[in-house]
């Protein structure tokens, strides 16, 4: 099952880089330059996608200021000397010096032996702590997330245009953003821009209807990232553009129809974007190495403590700051500089040269606020804001874009943005296929009597009840449902309306099987279909009995 050098005659050293973010990709690039023309060292980089995401511009994809692929670059373009493995990592075995990769097109897993390992896995968004977030909140980390949010916005605008029900329109047109750091602020600003620019003009929606609400756990946004004066300026600018703020609160759960805050506030909304601080990557945690708040502890040369050939950098590493005191912050500018030092040190380790110590002082920080406004702080002392800061923001990040082609494309998009209407194509990534989850708080309705169904449900945890309403609106509880109970199938098969409602008695997690999948399953596994039918007969019988009673009464 082993691939790569094993099939070649001459044994060579292999450097395996895990992760295709700033740290990993720039390490591969620098290694490629240092090792150009040498066939005795192989550089491998493993990533879930074949591209690198230029994170600072990701929010601009939402507003459509740049094209949807402008912010991503194929890893092979940045690091042409590296072999790119577009695979998930199943397991890292430090003792065997081996990484197991998930099956790709080849249908079988690959074992990659390494001489040097670079852990650049960043961190992950972990929604499992808050119920419903995994099922209903949109993360904002990669290209798919940005496209999904953009698609969602276009979709609710289109649906709201033809939706006569006030309440449903309010649900559709309210967007909640959780988290007031760089990411939350930029997403809120760009989403707000996009909605304000298009809702009335292209979808005939009253400008007062859409709401963009940012929920933050502190008393002002950017409280850790920016000095108070700049943060307050940012808030003022964003408020003027129509963003609302809720401070000193955080999101505790989410359902299909509302977001719940810690003080019990329910914000009626179909869209929650969560930019909450991320958790360490479980692959990093599982290594069992010394860590600091989930980040691998390295020395000044970026070698992981206790290891001789495992290196780490970027957001998943705790690298000592030069000039003493603390570790480097998890930002792109540090990761990119660490990559250069790290590449040098690995080559030095292979060839027997001198190790370098990582040294870098932060240049500054910038946040875009939408509509040609930004805030920033340079060299930890010069504050800039407004249009100047925005021009600065664009100039800095444009210069940092990898590759001439992206630079040209982004410049082209920025130019066209002045002249052309925004693009309103739904790319379709929003359409989740396969099994999904749904979470309801007590009292939440899974569906209402009379709705048409195109999905079936299995209760994973929690309790629900089947409720029947008669013509006068009086309701009667027909049956209780608990874990492993299945319902909703016969309506899918018969294309009829649900004969009763299903309402949750307590917080309930459901597994949702889409019609298409259910039909395939029912064909191949009749016993599964029977499970669904049992509950359904109960629902229908009770409804029929009730109708009969009403008729005789």
Residues in region 453-482 near a second copy by CB under 8 A: 453-454, 458-460
Identity of the residue, 103 or 306, whose beta carbon is nearer to a second copy in the bound complex = 103
173 touches a second copy (CB under 8 A): no
Q: Phi and psi (nearest 5°) for 392?
A: -60, -45
12 touches a second copy (CB under 8 A): no
420 touches a second copy (CB under 8 A): yes
Q: Which of residues 187-206 bind a second copy (CB under 8 A)?
A: 202-203
Identity of the residue, 225 or 485, whose beta carbon is nearer to a second copy in the bound complex = 485
Q: Phi and psi (nearest 5°) for 69?
A: -105, 0
Task: Pick one of 10, 36, 107, 293: the residue that binds a second copy (CB under 8 A).
Answer: 107
Alpha-carbon distance values, 227 to 223, 374, 383, 392 (Å): 7, 14, 9, 18
Contact by Cβ (8 Å): 174, 271: yes
Alpha-helix runs per DSSP H in 312-382: 332-351
User: 366 has which bridge partners?
Assistant: 376
Find tokens 């599982």 and name the residue: 286
Task: Pick one of 13, 38, 91, 463: the residue that binds a second copy (CB under 8 A).
Answer: 91
- Residues 390 and 371: their CA atoms lie apart, in Å, by 9
Name the token pair of 58.
């990701």
133 touches a second copy (CB under 8 A): no
Contact by Cβ (8 Å): 258, 139: no
Q: Name the residue among 15, 236, 253, 308 with its Cα closest to residue 133.
A: 253
Alpha-helix runs per DSSP H in 89-138: 133-136
Task: Pick one of 227, 300, 364, 514: the residue that binds a second copy (CB under 8 A).
Answer: 514
Identity of the residue, 44 or 332, whose beta carbon is nearer to a second copy in the bound complex = 44
Q: Which of residues 261-320 bind a second copy (CB under 8 A)?
A: 270
- Residues 221 and 181: their CA atoms lie apart, in Å, by 6
Task: Pick one of 13, 113, 168, 321: the residue that binds a second copy (CB under 8 A).
Answer: 168
Identity of the residue, 168 or 220, whose beta carbon is nearer to a second copy in the bound complex = 168
Contact by Cβ (8 Å): 449, 90: no
Shortest reach from residue 520's CB to a second copy, in Å = 5
Identity of the residue, 215 or 456, whose beta carbon is nearer to a second copy in the bound complex = 456
DSSP three-state, residue 254: strand
Segment 358-364 long-range contacts (CB within 8 Å, at least 24 positions apart): 358/300, 358/301, 358/302, 358/319, 358/320, 358/322, 358/328, 359/322, 360/322, 360/328, 360/333, 360/334, 361/322, 361/323, 362/329, 362/331, 362/333, 362/334, 363/333
526 touches a second copy (CB under 8 A): yes
484 touches a second copy (CB under 8 A): yes
Shortest reach from residue 102's CB to a second copy, in Å = 6
Shortest reach from residue 489's CB to a second copy, in Å = 13
Alpha-carbon distance values, 505 to 123, 254, 444, 482 (Å): 36, 16, 8, 10
What burial class does residue 36 get, using C-beta atoms within 10 Å of its C-beta: 0-12 exposed, 13-18 middle, 19+ buried?
Answer: exposed
Identity of the residue, 43 or 375, whose beta carbon is nearer to a second copy in the bound complex = 43
Task: Pick one of 277, 421, 443, 482: the residue that binds a second copy (CB under 8 A).
Answer: 421
Q: Which stretch binds a second copy (CB under 8 A): 212-220, 279-287, 393-401, 403-411?
A: 403-411
Task: Pick one of 67, 242, 364, 386: the residue that binds a second copy (CB under 8 A).
Answer: 67
- Residues 127 and 105: their CA atoms lie apart, in Å, by 30
437 touches a second copy (CB under 8 A): yes
- Residues 53 and 180: their CA atoms lie apart, in Å, by 22
What burial class does residue 139 get, using C-beta atoms within 10 Å of its C-beta: 0-12 exposed, 13-18 middle, 19+ buried?
Answer: buried
Shortest reach from residue 176's CB to a second copy, in Å = 16
DSSP three-state, residue 88: coil
Total residues belonging to the chain: 553
Shortest reach from residue 342's CB to a second copy, in Å = 23
For the beta sheet containing 89-93, the strands, ordered from the edge strand earlier in sequence to the opposite edge, are 89-93, 98-101, 110-113
Size of the site for a second copy (CB under 8 A): 98
Q: Which stretch binds a second copy (CB under 8 A): 100-108, 184-192, 243-251, 286-294?
A: 100-108
Alpha-carbon distance values, 398 to 58, 296, 363, 414 (Å): 13, 31, 16, 11
49 touches a second copy (CB under 8 A): yes
Task: Pick one of 9, 36, 95, 164: the residue that binds a second copy (CB under 8 A).
Answer: 164
Q: Is 493 left (phi over 0), alpha (psi -120 to 50) or beta?
A: alpha
Shortest reach from residue 23's CB to a second copy, in Å = 20
Shortest reach from residue 462's CB to a second copy, in Å = 11
Shortest reach from residue 470's CB to a second copy, in Å = 19
493 touches a second copy (CB under 8 A): no
Strand residue runs (E) in 316-385: 317-318, 364-370, 373-378, 382-385
Identity of the residue, 162 or 551, whose beta carbon is nearer to a second copy in the bound complex = 162
400 touches a second copy (CB under 8 A): no
Shortest reach from residue 71's CB to a second copy, in Å = 10
Q: Name the residue among 276, 548, 229 with its Cα closest to residue 384.
A: 229
434 touches a second copy (CB under 8 A): yes
77 touches a second copy (CB under 8 A): yes
Task: Pick one of 240, 452, 477, 550: the residue that binds a second copy (CB under 8 A).
Answer: 452
Q: Which stretch binds a second copy (CB under 8 A): 125-133, 284-292, 335-343, 520-528?
A: 520-528
161 touches a second copy (CB under 8 A): yes
Q: Which of residues 328-367 bind a second copy (CB under 8 A)?
A: none
Q: What angle do CA 133, 153, 164 make, to 5 degrees?
A: 100
72 touches a second copy (CB under 8 A): yes
416 touches a second copy (CB under 8 A): yes
Window 248-267: contact mask with a second copy (x via CB under 8 A): --------x-----------
227 touches a second copy (CB under 8 A): no
């Amino acid at each position: 099952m082993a691939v790569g050098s094993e099939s070649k005659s001459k044994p060579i050293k292999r450097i395996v880089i895990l992760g295709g973010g700033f740290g990993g990709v720039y390490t591969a690039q620098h290694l490629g330059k240092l090792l150009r023309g040498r066939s005795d060292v192989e550089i491998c980089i493993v990533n879930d996608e074949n591209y690198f995401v230029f994170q600072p511009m990701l929010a601009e994809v939402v507003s459509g200021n740049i094209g949807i692929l402008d912010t991503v670059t194929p890893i092979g373009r940045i690091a042409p000397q590296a072999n790119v493995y577009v695979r998930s990592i199943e397991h890292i075995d430090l003792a065997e010096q081996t990484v197991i990769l998930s099956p790709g097109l080849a249908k079988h897993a690959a074992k990659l032996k390494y001489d040097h390992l670079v852990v650049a896995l960043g961190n992950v968004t972990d929604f499992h702590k808050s119920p419903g977030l995994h099922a209903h909140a949109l993360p904002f980390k990669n290209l798919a997330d940005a496209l999904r949010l953009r698609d969602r916005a276009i979709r609710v605008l289109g649906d709201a245009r033809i939706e006569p029900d006030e309440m449903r329109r309010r649900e559709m047109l309210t967007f909640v953003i959780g988290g007031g750091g760089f990411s939350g602020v930029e997403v809120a600003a760009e989403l707000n821009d996009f909605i304000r620019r298009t809702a009335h003009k292209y979808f005939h929606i009253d400008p007062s209807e859409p709401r963009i609400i940012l929920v933050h756990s502190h008393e002002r946004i950017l409280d850790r990232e920016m000095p108070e004066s700049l943060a307050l300026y940012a808030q003022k600018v964003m408020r003027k553009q129509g963003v609302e703020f809720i401070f000193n609160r955080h999101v505790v759960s989410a359902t299909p129809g509302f977001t719940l805050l810690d003080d019990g506030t329910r914000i009626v909304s179909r869209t929650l974007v969560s930019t909450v601080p991320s958790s360490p990557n479980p692959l990093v945690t599982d290594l069992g190495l010394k860590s600091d708040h989930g980040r691998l502890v390295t020395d000044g040369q970026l070698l992981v403590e206790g290891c001789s050939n495992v290196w780490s950098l970027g957001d998943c590493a705790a690298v000592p700051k030069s000039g003493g005191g603390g570790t480097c912050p998890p930002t792109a500018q540090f990761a990119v500089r660490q990559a250069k030092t790290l590449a040098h040190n690995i080559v030095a380790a292979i060839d027997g040269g001198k190790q370098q110590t990582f040294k870098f002082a932060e240049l500054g920080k910038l946040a875009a606020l939408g509509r040609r406004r930004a805030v920033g702080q340079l060299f930890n002392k010069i504050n800039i804001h407004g249009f100047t800061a925005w021009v600065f923001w664009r100039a800095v990040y444009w210069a940092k874009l990898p590759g001439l082609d992206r630079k040209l494309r982004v410049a082209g998009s920025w130019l066209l943005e002045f002249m052309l209407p925004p693009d309103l194509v739904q790319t379709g990534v929003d359409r989740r296929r396969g099994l999904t989850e749904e979470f309801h708080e007590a009292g939440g309705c899974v569906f209402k009597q009379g709705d048409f169904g195109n999905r079936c449900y299995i209760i994973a945890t929690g309790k629900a009840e089947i409720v029947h309403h008669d013509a006068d609106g009086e309701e009667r509880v027909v049956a209780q449902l608990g874990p492993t109970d299945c319902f909703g199938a016969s309506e899918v098969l018969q294309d009829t309306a649900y004969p009763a409602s299903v309402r949750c008695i307590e917080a309930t997690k459901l597994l949702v099987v889409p019609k298409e999948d259910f039909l395939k399953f029912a064909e191949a596994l009749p016993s599964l279909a029977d499970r669904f039918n049992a509950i359904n007969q109960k629902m229908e019988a009770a409804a029929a009995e009730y109708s009969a009673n009403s008729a005789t009464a």
